[in-house]
Amino acid sequence: MQKFELFVDVVWTILEIAPMLVMGWLAFILVFGLIKRKALVKAFSDYKNRFAIIVCAHNEEKAIGSLLSSLGDLDYDKDKYHVYVICDHCTDKTAEIAGSYPFVTVMERNEGPTTGKGVVLSWGLPRILKMTEKDSCDAFVFFDADNVAKADFLTEMSKKMNQGNDIIQGNRLGGRPYNTYVTKWYTLYWASYTTYFSYAREKLNLSAFLTGTGFVVKRDLIEKEGWDTSTITEDVEYSIQNCIKGRRVAFCISAICFDEQPSELKVMMNQLSRWTTGSYQILNKYFYSIIRSKNERFLQKLDSLMFLLMGPCSWLSAIITALNMLIILWKLPLYACLPAVILGVVGLMTMYIAVYGAARYNKIESEGMFFALLTFPLFTFAYMICSIKTCFKPSTTWVKIEHKSLDRAQV
């Protein structure tokens, strides 16, 4: 009996410590990334890179016009970029609308599965490589059909490329209109993510992660290795693949694009379930590859592994904390829980301040955001519930999110 109790104690202690190590590491990176001064990195040249902009679209006739109009208004030499819209199994007027823009080439894909962007890129990139000469394209830019780009997006990305970066994630922010509290939660989430996760890692010379849209990959890299992803979160998978090879994803906070966010709770839960499922798929597929990879970026590998472990460790930590509280209540007087309650309140207030600060830093309008900020813990709770659910029941089916159009006045 004593041996069994000892075994239970050891297992419980491990379950308590492991999530704390992961969350502690992430908090450490966040804090030191914030307080570290941004290094002044000089560009190797003022060369203006040439870009092929790729847009994957499936029945996006309502949204794609705003994106293409914003791309037509970029303050970049018009002969140094061209847009390729890959219409994937489209049955509406997406191809017709895209073809009406003189700087757009429309490609129609009607064969193969409609399982997400990964398979579309695997189909389209080799064809675009054949269509473009090396001296006419230095890098590929990836957007979603529901995006709107700021006028200086390519200018800022070109500067970042000239600093020696091959893969660059731009500053993806939630765009107006902020129709519902779900939309506002997403807007606060992306402002926090880009500031505290991506920008903190950029300042520490660690790798950010691609977030699905608004990013650049150098042509030579695509030409040499192609695009070979199989999970439903192809952006994170591609980031991990390059981390294993010793590369990093740079982050350009000044290259801003806006992304239309879901407005319904059901759509939000479906999307979060796909994100968490993808994280588990990647963790299962690349865990040993990350550990065994031989490159000099040890801290980057460690940080990437901690990022993948963040989902399961967050809900495991929450469950263990709740159980410990129940044990304390069962064995000790009520006032014994006071330190834990105080710690919880401090943590909640810290989150409110951090999310508000990220929104202000990214110039997110505060009008109508107060209640969304107040209820933002519900978004994080929903994320955790999806992470628990998909750990046991993955969500692998791609479901299209219906888009409308972003307000271009904000760019």
Decide if pLDDT at 19 tops 80.
Answer: no
What whole-number distance in Å separates Cα of residue 142 and Cα of residue 214? 6
- Identify the CA nearest to 373 among candidates 383, 384, 359, 387: 359
Q: How far apart are CA 354 and CA 350, in angstroms?
A: 6
Contact 16, 48 (CB under 8 A): no
Question: Taking the CA of residue 136 as centre, how many other CA atoms within 13 Å lie in the half-sphere pointing to its CB?
Answer: 13
Report, in this order, helix, strand and coil percent for the chain, each rounded to 5. Answer: 55, 15, 30
Output the DSSP codes for 114-136.
---HHHHHHHHHHHHHHHS-GGG
List beta partners, residue 173: 258
pLDDT in tens, 326-372: 776 677 676 666 776 787 788 889 899 999 999 999 988 877 889 99
C-alpha to C-alpha distance for 81 and 104, rounded to whole angstroms: 10
Q: Give the distance, in angstroms, between the CA of residue 31 and the centroid of all CA atoms in the same chain.
A: 20
Tokens of 10: 């050891």
* Confidence class for position 184, pLDDT limits 50, 70, 90: very high
Query: Distance between alpha carbon 120 and the CA centroid of its chain, in Å?
Result: 19
What are residue 181's phi and psi, to 5 degrees? -70, -30
The domain locations on the chain are 51-266
Length of the chain: 411
pLDDT per position as a tens digit, 138-157: 999 999 999 999 999 999 99
pLDDT score at 116: 75
Strand 250-259 relative to strand 167-174, pairing: parallel
Query: What mean pLDDT is reported for the chain?
Result: 87
| pLDDT digit string, tens, across residues 383-407 | 999 999 998 898 877 777 777 777 7
Going by their DSSP bridges, the two strands 81-88 and 51-57 should be labelled as parallel
220-232 per-position pLDDT tens digit: 999 999 888 888 8
Q: Does the pLDDT value for residue 6 go beyond 70?
A: no
- Separation of CA 216 from chain center: 14
Mean pLDDT of 275-288: 92
More confident residue, 37 or 384: 384
Bridge partners (DSSP) listed for residue 218: 139
Which residue matches tokens 């990437």?
A: 304
The arrangement of secondary structure in 51-266, i.e. its CATH architecture, is Alpha-Beta Complex (3.90)
The band of 136, judged by pLDDT with boundaries at 50, 70 and 90, is confident
Residue with tokens 């800022």: 156
| 408, 69 contact by CB (below 8 A) | yes
What is the C-alpha to C-alpha distance for residues 361 and 195, in angstroms, rounded to an integer?
A: 8
Its pTM surpasses 0.85: yes
